[in-house]
Chain A
Amino acid sequence: MASNPRVARAPEGNPLLEYETGGFWDEMFDAAESPRSHYAALAGQLATLSSTEVARRQAAADHSFRGQGITFAVNQDPNGIEKILPFDLIPRLLLPEEWRRIERGLEQRVRALNLFLADVYHEQRILADGVIDPELVLGSRGYRRELHGLNVPLGVYTHIVGSDLVRDASGELFVLEDNLRTPSGVSYLIENRRVLKRTWPQLFEGYDVRPVEGYPQSLLEVLRAIAPEPEDPTVVLLTPGIFNSAYFEHAFLAKAMGIEMVQGQDLFVDDGNVFMHTTRGRKRIDVIYRRVDDDFLDPLSFRSDSILGVAGLMAAYRLGRVSLANSVGTGVADDKAIYACVPRIIRYYLGEDPILPNVQTYLPVDADDRAYVLDHLDELVVKSVNESGGYGMLIGPHATQSERDEFALLIRANPRGFIAQPTLALSRHPCWVDDHFEGRHVDLRPFVLFGREVVVTPGGLTRVAIRRGSLVVNSSQGGGSKDTWVLAETGPQRAGR
């Protein structure tokens, strides 16, 4: 018994005593149910606390989020409920050596994907060389013919990337998907840290955690670096507005960077330049960090019913008068069918093996894969290639027969529209549930910035599937999040923070 520190150090009512890993890979505990070495100090902290104490801190953290209005709107009810993203107090820890691998792996991936984007919008060598079926690329909904032949500043298309990593039952990390259009969540990454420091500073004792506060400044540097005119460019953030679920994040980032947050109605295009209406008359804009999807950016080029965008913006963009982050047309590279090709893309452009593996992916567009997928729907996760946020998804083992039959029909009708992957037993992490700890499945979304160089913020948004047994971590589907600590190279012994 004495060998188990959870038991040895536990007073009455220690909330970790009852915890069970349930046979999953647990981020905090090893197979023998002992804390992993880097979690030992944290487990020691938790062991000294009673359930009421943990509950009190949890309530304080929730209050802090609500008071700051760190909320998102799922239902578009003007009077209605703004929800806080459920925040779990117990941080997720990453060892420095594992983080180094993640960092290198993401840099490799993002560089390769940008070479891929430059290629498919110019010479299309990768298609000519037969490495990827042209139909997959040119038929993708994210492919924008308007971009063909256009040179973007620094040759970079995806300035902000959020890739989702998961760990399977063996503890191996995989990339589950890349978000190359307008990834969100970074404000929660930063706020989670701030709130945890405020509500439970003692947890940080004995840990040297790498700070995440630098993200907005790094982002601003990237945005300034892509300006058409290098002299003191005017950078703005374009938000769809207050009813967007990520509105808090838009305001957060604009404020942290000291730039204007604008809406489509604030902007207009005149003679190929983009301006905003200000109290001092018009002001020219050089760079737009847009959090509006391609489809809504410019009613003249894309969806004509969009009131979120700016008429003529694409013309200004094509003339090089204004830069957009991310560039238009990056959606082709996070099409889930293209995702399956990323290892090939890395090998093709960089001549390297992928550092971070992909999850095994079947493309029903291929006849053999399709047959396999239709035969094994009860084991697979099927995803629509164009959806995100956990929509348009079938989790085979959790689905009913009629749901599986429905997806089988959909796949037969439109094989290009879907991919399938084995159902991963995602790793779990202890989470505070009502009045005790329970394991919940988690993933990790680190954020990668790419301007003159690639910068990966040391941390990430650990998303939590709040419902017991659920594998869906998306905030729109009731997921929550945790603070994520990347431990400094000096190891956990150095005191203070």
Chain B
Amino acid sequence: MLCRVADDIFWMSRYVERAIAVGRLIDVTWHLELDAGELVDAGRAFWMPLLGLSRDGSELADDAPAVPRDVRHFLSLDLNNPNSLVSCVRSARAAAQHVRDSISSEMWEQINALYLSLIAPQFSQDVDQDPHAFYRRVREGAQFFQGLAESTLAHDEPWNFVCLGTYLERADNVARLLELQAHLLNADASAAGDAAVRWLAVLRSCGSAEAYARYYSLRVEPARVVEFLLLNPVFPQSVRFSLAAARSALTSVASAAGTAPNSSTMLRMGRLCARLETTAVDEVLEEGLRMFLWDVHGRIDDVAEQITRTYLRDEARPSHVVGVDRAALIMAAQQQQQQQQ
């Protein structure tokens, strides 16, 4: 499979997944604001933190919206915001268009139809008049696309890059959401009632409230929510599950490409998964949720970078032997040092 095609499929899948995450987050925040009733600051407390989600944080300085409605539009419709809902769908569609010979016609037609529905003139009215229906429609459109990928692509290389993109992106998104809410863990006791509602909203924004309820049959408690979204091994919205799925896709990619199982990409992926598999929630909180999540982010970015260099750019690959050679050099250097001492 062509590197350029793999690259586009990887990013197409990431953008579709990102669109789902952004849409869900806005929808949930909207509900949260409604639940809160009449607000002193007109809901700014709910919406402003969402701007912190923007990935580089840079474009917020000058023209950052200050009114909830504007924030919502900025996150939904603004084509100058590369991570707005519409931008995500547009980027996904552009990538799909580049590889429309490599994906199924159904997939292309679905992402194209979704994009065309978003740029239709009546669309920005829908956002204000019937926001819930609107966000739901977009989310379902994106999920339908994912379902089509699952059922119309042969589960070989292109599919592996779909999974890799989708699950890495999901792990990243869920980690970001948790990061956004991490401050709630330190909220004082008087605000505890509110905090429970917020944590429930966090679950909902990951589409996880029902699963959580089934899993714990207990009231929403911050530590359990963190455990569920971060460390649950079987729920597909958890960071751990997503990374395990990404790892499995990467293993297939690597074995098809004839890359050694101990290539640096696979090693980093394995370490990242191990970090989530071998850490308990109390250890996470002891370390500090933010610190833990920053670490996870850094590692996800690192793995994505490695994948890009190895599979999406066809850069010259350091072979396994390079690692062994390096080990020999290190050993020699250490012996020299010992002799000097």
Contacts and interface: CB of A to CB of B under 8 A. Distances in A.
A260 B3 CA distance: 11
A265 interface: yes
Given A68-B105, A266-B2, A279 B257 contact: yes
Contacts of A262: 2
Contact of A280 (B100, B105, B256): B256
B97 A278 contact: no
Interface string B64-106: 0000000000000000000000000000000001101110010
A277 B4 contact: yes
Contacts of A173: none
A67 B117 CA distance: 10
A261 B112 CA distance: 20
Given A67-B113, A277-B314, A279-B157, A254 B101 contact: yes
A455 to B, nearest CB: 23
Contacts of B5: 260
Nearest to B119: A79
B4 A281 contact: no
A266 B112 contact: no
Given A69-B100, A242-B98, A254-B101, A279 B109 contact: no
Given A66-B116, A67-B112, A69-B109, A281 B314 contact: yes
B159 interface: no
A100 interface: no
B333 to A, nearest CB: 33
Contacts of B257: 279-281
Contacts of A261: 101-102
B199 interface: no
A282 interface: yes
B108 interface: yes
Contacts of B314: 277-279, 281-282
B168 interface: no
Most buried by A among B1, B100, B161, B253: B100
A262 B8 CA distance: 13
B258 A263 contact: no
B97 A242 contact: yes
B4 A255 contact: no
Contacts of A276: 2
Nearest to A239: B101
B97 A69 contact: yes
Contacts of B105: 68, 255
Interface in A214-266: 237, 242, 250-252, 254-255, 260-263, 265-266
Contact of A279 (B6, B98, B100, B113): B6
B311 interface: yes
B341 to A, nearest CB: 45
Interface in B222-259: 253, 256-258
Contacts of A280: 1, 256-258
Contact of B3 (A69, A250, A252, A278): A278
Contacts of A250: 101
A291 to B, nearest CB: 12
Contact of B112 (A68, A237, A260): A68
A255 B100 contact: yes
A278 B97 CA distance: 19
B149 to A, nearest CB: 16
B164 to A, nearest CB: 11
Interface string B1-25: 1111110000000000000000000
B34 to A, nearest CB: 34
Which of B3, B116, B313 has most chain A Cβ within 10 Å? B3
B297 to A, nearest CB: 26
Contacts of A282: 314
A68 to B, nearest CB: 6
Interface in B130-161: 157, 161
A425 B116 CA distance: 41
A281 B257 CA distance: 7
Interface string A267-306: 0000000001111111000000000000000000000000
Contacts of A277: 2-4, 313-314
Interface of B: 1-6, 97-98, 100-102, 105, 108-109, 112-113, 116, 157, 161, 253, 256-258, 311-314
Identify the 5 closest CB pairs spanning chains A and B, nearest first: A277-B314, A254-B101, A255-B101, A251-B101, A277-B3
Interface of A: 66-69, 237, 242, 250-252, 254-255, 260-263, 265-266, 276-282
Given A68-B109, A260-B101, A277-B314, 16 more contacts: A66-B116, A67-B113, A69-B100, A69-B108, A237-B101, A242-B98, A252-B101, A255-B100, A255-B101, A260-B5, A266-B2, A277-B3, A279-B3, A280-B1, A280-B256, A281-B258
